[in-house]
């Protein structure tokens, strides 16, 4: 039956906020650039990993534009950022770290075309995650096209991965995750308590050393401390309405 069968009552008529999913066996977090996933859902991934969830990462672009240095060797930067992403994944998930994959599209030029969607479907069908996490592609007034396209790739990739007649040339068994969690959500409807995992999220973010200047606005230790405080305050603000010390919020889609 189609998920949007108009004969069925809406699954969640009042759009009530839900809290703290059961940790899944495996999760795949899809980000446009190295570091996006740590910003968007690092606390939740650390929490799930500690509960035994295998945490996989898929980074869509090479991150080669992530510098303010006009003379930068962008190939070297892309290689460095892959190393940083692997280190960030390890800091988040430890022994529960799954695969860290890279689509390698050029930073700033990501598209959600069929060829790229097929590459995402391949990863979903190979890794077979219970939950897929990604950018909310419908966040209003979002400027960066890579984030929008990466979000579309996560959502449309799940649609294609779950149905057997999409991309049969991949010769991979279709796979239907149980839920999608969109971070940077335009309309959050799900809250995760990450109070105990805030430090791990921050440590993972700080694995992205090449981004200290351009993203974290940090030139020295004092700036890095300020960055940690900014992120901590943000997560505290998100949790406060619910009496939670630190929260990450999402738009949950569990009618797949």
Nearer to Zn ion, 37 or 161 (CB): 37
β pairing state of 179-183 and 97-105:
unpaired
Q: Which of residues 24-53 bind Zn ion (CB under 5 A)?
A: 32-33, 36
The Cβ of residue 243 has, within 10 Å, a number of other Cβ atoms equal to 8
Minimum Å gap between C-beta 221 and Zn ion is 25
Structure letter (DSSP) for residue 154: H
Nearer to Zn ion, 61 or 96 (CB): 61
Q: How far is the CB of 182 from Zn ion (least distance, A)?
A: 15
CB nearer to Zn ion: pick between 59 and 161? 59
Q: Which is nearer to Zn ion, 36 or 193 (CB)?
A: 36
- Name which of 126 and 213 has its Cβ closer to Zn ion: 213
CA 252 to chain centre: 13
Site string for Zn ion, 68-107 (x = CB under 5 A): ----------------------------------------
The number of residues that bind Zn ion (CB under 5 A) is 3
Question: Would you state the structure tokens that stand for residue 125, as one six-digit string?
Answer: 């069908």
Residue number with CB closer to Zn ion (62 or 119): 62
CB-based contacts of 6, cutoff 8 Å, min separation 6: none
To Zn ion, the closest distance from the beta carbon of 27 in angstroms equals: 19
* 175 to 204: interface string for Zn ion, x by CB under 5 A: ------------------------------
One character per residue 202-231, x = contact with Zn ion (rule: CB under 5 A): ------------------------------
Place of tokens 């006009």: 70
Residues 192 and 247 sit within 8 Å (Cβ to Cβ)? yes
**Joined tokens for residue 107:** 């930073």
- The rounded distance, in Å, linking the Cα atoms of 88 and 202 is 10
Q: Whose structure tokens read 């305050």?
A: 233
- Closest separation between CB of residue 110 and Zn ion, Å? 10
CA-based angle 31:168:170, to the nearest 5?
55
Residues 6+ apart with CB under 8 A from 42: 88, 92, 197, 200, 201, 204, 205, 248
Residue nearest to Zn ion (CB): 33
Footprint of Zn ion on this chain (CB under 5 A)?
Answer: 32-33, 36
């Amino acid at each position: 039956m189609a998920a949007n069968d108009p004969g069925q009552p809406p699954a969640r008529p009042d759009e009530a906020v839900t809290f703290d999913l059961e940790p899944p066996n495996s999760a795949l977090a899809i980000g446009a650039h190295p570091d996006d996933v740590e910003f968007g859902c690092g606390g939740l991934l650390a929490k799930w990993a500690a509960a035994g969830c295998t945490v996989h990462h898929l980074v869509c672009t090479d991150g080669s534009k992530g510098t303010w240095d006009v003379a930068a060797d962008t190939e070297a930067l892309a290689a460095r950022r892959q190393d940083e992403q692997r280190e960030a994944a390890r800091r988040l998930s430890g022994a529960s770290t799954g695969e860290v994959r890279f689509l390698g599209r050029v930073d700033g030029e990501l598209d959600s075309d069929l060829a790229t969607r097929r590459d995402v479907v391949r990863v979903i069908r190979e890794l077979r995650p219970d939950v897929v996490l990604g950018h909310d592609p419908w966040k209003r007034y979002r400027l960066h096209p890579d984030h929008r396209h990466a979000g579309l790739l996560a959502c449309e990739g799940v649609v294609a991965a779950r149905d057997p007649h999409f991309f049969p040339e991949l010769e991979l068994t279709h796979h239907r995750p149980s839920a999608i969690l969109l971070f940077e959500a335009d309309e959050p409807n799900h809250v995760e308590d990450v109070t105990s995992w805030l430090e791990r999220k921050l440590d993972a973010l700080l694995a992205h050393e090449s981004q200290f200047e351009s993203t974290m606005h940090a030139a020295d230790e004092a700036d890095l401390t300020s960055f940690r405080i900014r992120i901590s305050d943000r997560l505290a603000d998100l949790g406060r309405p619910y009496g939670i010390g630190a929260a990450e919020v999402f738009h949950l889609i569990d009618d797949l």
